[in-house]
Chain A
Amino acid sequence: MSQPVLEVRDLKVEFVSPRADRPPLQTLRGVSLDIAAGEILGLVGESGAGKSLTGAAVLGLLAGGGRISGGEIRFSGQRIDRLPEAEIRVLRGSRIGAVFQDPMTALDPLMTVGEQLVETIRTHRRLSRRQARDHAASLLDSVGVPAAARRLSQYPHQFSGGMRQRVVLALAMAGEPDLLIADEPTTALDVSVQAQVLALFRELCDARGTAVMLVTHDMGVVAEICDRVGVMYAGRIVEIGSVDDVLERPAHPYTEGLLRSIPALDAPREPRLWQIPGAMPRPAAVPEGCAYHPRCPRAQEICRRGNTPLLGVSMRDVACHFPNRSWSSTVSIGRSSAAEARP
């Protein structure tokens, strides 16, 4: 098997409090994942679970006192978690792209879209202005902006929300990155526009073999375009595997509960939705043992102490002592590739 584009091993991130008397806040408590070329990995979880933080850590964009306190991040085999700021910035501009929820964070309101695209293209490729402009037009065209050549001379505010996000995608793709980190890229968009932008993601990823980390809170988005999915809870990945496995045959009780609590458009209407009691703990109050045990119906004594290992359960990893194996007769049990790669 070829080397993954991104390898994250036991990544820990903590936030140093500005007040000296408070201990640093552990927000990522050991995250491991791989993304192969051409693969879209979805990272889902509730706000505060650490999914955006994982993306920010890979991008070297931890803000507000955050720092990597353990583990490693490898990009094409090369460690990037200890790179100096200048080098990670070069990497970020070229081989690792980023798309965020608010397109205006990536766009300069005072420059035309064409100028921004040309500038990005020319930092990566030796092209004349005219060639770069032609390339920019074809990029805009490829992300589905109509009348691309004409719209190059327009400013970001002249684009609608969905079109703006397409421009950001074109900008991120201009460097022909190997890895794209997309943090809630369609959350601010209307559902009909979201569908179009998601389809575009899938298309670009398939056409260029880009590896994508898609951070989202929407299981529907994951089902729509992801190949694999990691479910995060309180700073850890509790379950990671193929979308079909995880969404249709969830093994971790949190994944199970989460999926059951989402009303479906095609399931019969029940008088009540399934609900998980309680709420996810804040980083400062993560309980000992498995972080999910106070809300878990299957919790036993063993769940209340020690670390819960990531077990390989039928082509996926699950951090649970009592994963749901009821469907395991149909699928062979074995450790997934990510688990094997771990030392």
Chain B
Amino acid sequence: MSSLDASAARKSRPGPAALVVAFLRSEIMQDLRRDKLAMIAAIVTLALVLIALLAPLIAPFDPYDLRQVDLLDSMLPPAWAEGGQAKYLLGTDDQGRDLLSTLLLGLRLSLVVALASVTLSMAVGVSIGLIAGFLRGPLDAIVMRIADIQLSFPALLIAFLADGIARAALPHHVVAEMSVVVIVCSIALAGWVQYARTIRGVTLVECDKDYVQAARLSGTSTLKIALKHVLPNVAGPSLVLATVQIATAIVTESTLSYLGVGVPATEPSLGTLVRIGNDYLFSGSWWVAVFPGLTLVAIVFATNLLGDWLRDATNPRLG
């Protein structure tokens, strides 16, 4: 019996190296390698995420440090253009900040906001979907009608509203300090519906399966059934949805920042940079808007493709 236990334990707890190898050899990685477009998307995403993580180390300047900023250097074109300076590879913005550094840190901020808001909306949405699918009845009806109503408005409008209300309700200095938190919550509020609806649907299907009935007969409590039986079975769809939603979250954050209600201008995100650049676009200073814009397109496109691929790859009906 003890040797049996040991072998079972060996089987169930492989080392981290073995896990990585297993992952690289897994069905899903094989699938990814076959799909060239998804592979490129994965590489672009991974590269951009790595750059964003290492931004403070890579960036040649600290754009948040006012002492390093010289207004006289404002609106310099990229290094290779006429009038460009070698130390400012992509040129500078209207306040004389190095555009490359600002862009790198902006990318980091955009990704952090997107990840945080997607995580939050997934946590909220999955919980609500699970509860609604499990209890059914009037609570389910009410929650789903609210979800329907919210879905009939664009997500951006919801985020915009939530952000506006938070700004109006909270004291000014709190808003200034907590602007990132406010925007994360706003985007999350706009996004939970997707998870709640999907997870409720999957939960309804899972609850009708006999393993849930068998668990009830075993005397397993409803909470335990929800967490140990149903949740693992709905985790897949929620993760896939999250990957798709990241692109949406990045766009929402950028749009809010572009409209000037997002993160503060002192710590610009990609959207803020595009807005600033937009003001100078017609005076010939194209770079301030174009480089952040291109980065935005790249990251959104890559995560979107990756999300689509993951959704197809994990869908047994298509696979």
Contacts and interface: CB of A to CB of B under 8 A. Distances in A.
Question: Do chains A and B directly touch (beta carbons under 8 Å) in the complex?
Answer: yes
B68 interface: no
A18 B319 CA distance: 10
B205 to A, nearest CB: 20
Interface in B18-34: 27, 30, 34
A64 to B, nearest CB: 11
Contacts of B34: 18
A19 interface: yes
Interface residues of A, number: 2
Interface residues of B, number: 3
Nearest to B30: A19
Interface string B1-43: 0000000000000000000000000010010001000000000
A216 B186 CA distance: 58
A19 B33 CA distance: 11
Nearest to B27: A19
Contacts of B27: 19
Nearest to B319: A18
Contacts of B30: 19
Nearest to A18: B34
A18 B34 CA distance: 10
A19 B27 CA distance: 9
B201 to A, nearest CB: 22
Interface string A1-23: 00000000000000000110000
Contacts of A19: 27, 30
Contacts of A18: 34
A143 to B, nearest CB: 33
A93 B30 CA distance: 39
A19 B319 CA distance: 12
A262 B51 CA distance: 67
Nearest to A20: B34
Interface in B69-107: none
Interface in A10-48: 18-19
Nearest to A21: B30
A21 to B, nearest CB: 8
Interface in B170-202: none
A19 B32 CA distance: 11
A19 B31 CA distance: 8
A284 to B, nearest CB: 16
A19 B313 CA distance: 13
A105 to B, nearest CB: 15
B316 to A, nearest CB: 12
A330 to B, nearest CB: 50
A197 B27 CA distance: 44
B36 to A, nearest CB: 14
A42 B27 CA distance: 39
B38 to A, nearest CB: 15
A18 B30 CA distance: 10
Interface string B276-318: 0000000000000000000000000000000000000000000
Interface in A273-302: none
A298 B287 CA distance: 84
A18 B27 CA distance: 11
Nearest to A19: B30
B9 to A, nearest CB: 28
A65 B30 CA distance: 18
Interface string A61-97: 0000000000000000000000000000000000000
B81 to A, nearest CB: 48
A78 to B, nearest CB: 37
B315 to A, nearest CB: 14
A198 B37 CA distance: 52
A206 to B, nearest CB: 41
B71 to A, nearest CB: 60
A19 B25 CA distance: 12
A57 to B, nearest CB: 24
A18 B32 CA distance: 12
A18 to B, nearest CB: 8
A19 B30 CA distance: 8
A107 to B, nearest CB: 21
A323 to B, nearest CB: 42
B172 to A, nearest CB: 59
A18 B312 CA distance: 15
B179 to A, nearest CB: 48
A63 to B, nearest CB: 13
A156 B35 CA distance: 41
A22 to B, nearest CB: 10
A92 B85 CA distance: 73
3 contacts: A18-B34, A19-B27, A19-B30
Interface of B: 27, 30, 34
The 3 closest A-B CB pairs, nearest first, are: A19-B30, A18-B34, A19-B27
